[in-house]
Chain A
Amino acid sequence: MGKDTVVIVTPIAPRAVKRGRLAARKYGNLNGLCIGLLDNNKPNADRFLEFAGELLRERYPNLRLIPKRKMTRTGADGLRELAEDCGVVINAFGD
């Protein structure tokens, strides 16, 4: 350490990193699937998912759509149902 410098403890910290694994995306196309539409209660999220669902159904008429809403950041009723019944889920949105 020179006289013009001082040793300091940095105020930033190492990060805790979780290691997870996504469920495999095993569907090459969406035809016939059940799709969850999870609305996180942000303004327009429900409407956006409605539009997305309509557009998907135009392409894949045999879709089944399950709309759900979660009212808080951490919890949502019906998540287990989504996990059990749905091939894929769209969650909207991080506005």
Chain B
Amino acid sequence: MALARTEAATRGLSELPLVELPHPVGSIPLAALRTVACSIIDQIVDALTRQSAVDEPWSANKSADETTERVIEAPADPALMFQYFVNRGWSDGLPVLAPTEAAVEEMIAAGAVARDAVFGVIPPLNGIATAEKIAANAVMAGCLPEYFPLLLAVLRCVVRPGFNLDGVQTTTGNVAPLTIVNGPCRQRLQINSGANALGQGWRANATIGRALRLVLCNIGGAAPGGYDKATLGQPAKYTFCLGENEEENPWEPLHVERGLEREADAVSAFGCSGVNSAVDMASQTAKGLLKTFALTMVGGFTSGVTSTETLLIVCPEHAAILAEGGYSKAAIRAELFELARVPHDKISDENLQLLANRRPKWFRSDASEVPVIDRPEDLWIVVAGGKGAKSAYIPGRTGTKLQTAVVETPALSCRC
């Protein structure tokens, strides 16, 4: 109920009449659902006919346990300061660096932006993401100032309507924003696009992804277990950032596909669920490899979802096999669209009914299977990783579309 009230209030409708149903309602039998309807029908009638506003309108501004003071005093001792941040819900559970005024100022200067420049409003609480507040979170995450222009570009991506940040922030799904970096800044900032690109050990990857998470929680107010309703979450909610391995990419890189110059620095943001490994050390042909990728996509098929954009991260060895087989990105997409399908008889009756409502074109009289994606163009392809025959498939979040922005980097002396 709190999230519903907040959603209404952030749209200026704090008095919207709401009726609370006992959870769950989406997964209960129809007889039980009718009982629920019977039990609350009086409340529905009351909500529809109540003449006056509630006595004391709930306000999104009201919050007894949060400060919006610009600066405060915190313990100087690192361990005490960490606990101070944890107690206020300002940490992701890991230690943070002190966002001192000097450190924040250095971060802002690296972006060559005004302290009060606004880069968006972050749901669900509609926190105003100024350069200063983004910088404070970047410092806490451990970002170098040189990363700040890139982080600002990611912010520009996630606040676009097409990213559906409302949904990403509050869904019960296990969704995290993935940042994909293209262009020369990968070398300049030492962003890993090779071995273990999605793994640990690289400051830029780790802290840029982490800074985005802190911004979403601290400025947006998506506290886990609060307005962040994720049922399970996933480790990528701590950090999720990689570079594209353009040097071993036989096709055009993502940012070029998105209409930018090859020499441009760019980031793309993708709201997605977990990483599904596409392991194939045996196939030597493109046809064989695509069968494996299709199996992985089917394995990542989540019943009940609408069709989403999806992402295939192809490792260089797999990319070479596909390219040698004459496959363009378009040909890969077309083939996987055909191959990655789930037979109706493999899906539960209840989910079949749900899917028939949501994706009716795959349930016409002669249909016997559902493709993982509705259209070939719903599959994004990037190349990343080091040696080995391990690619990955990542389903996107419903209603979320990949967004790309240029990294606007002022002239800097890089310290990394």
Contact = CB atoms under 8 A, between A and B. Distances in A.
Interface of A: 1-22, 25-30, 35, 41-48, 51-52, 55-56, 59, 71-74, 88, 90, 93-95
B319 interface: no
A15 B25 CA distance: 32
A42 B172 CA distance: 12
B98 A88 contact: no
A7 to B, nearest CB: 5
Contacts of A8: 71-74, 98-101, 136
Nearest to A44: B26
Nearest to A55: B41
Contacts of B50: 25
Contact of A13 (B17, B44, B68, B164): B68
B48 A90 contact: yes
Interface stretch (B125-133, B182-190, B292-300): B125-133
Determine the main DSSP class of A at the interface with B. loop
B127 A12 contact: yes
Interface residues of B, number: 82
B48 A27 contact: yes
Contact of A22 (B15, B34, B48, B127): B15
Interface in B354-384: 354, 357-358
A81 B71 CA distance: 50
Contacts of A71: 306, 358
- Closest 5 pairs between A and B when the two form their complex, measured CB to CB: A20-B12, A18-B12, A43-B26, A51-B37, A13-B127
Interface in B184-216: 214
A43 B28 CA distance: 10
Nearest to A19: B12
B404 interface: no
B33 A47 contact: yes
A10 B72 contact: yes
Contacts of A18: 10-12, 126
B139 to A, nearest CB: 8
A5 B128 contact: no
Contacts of A20: 11-13
Contacts of B25: 44, 48, 93, 95
A9 B10 contact: no
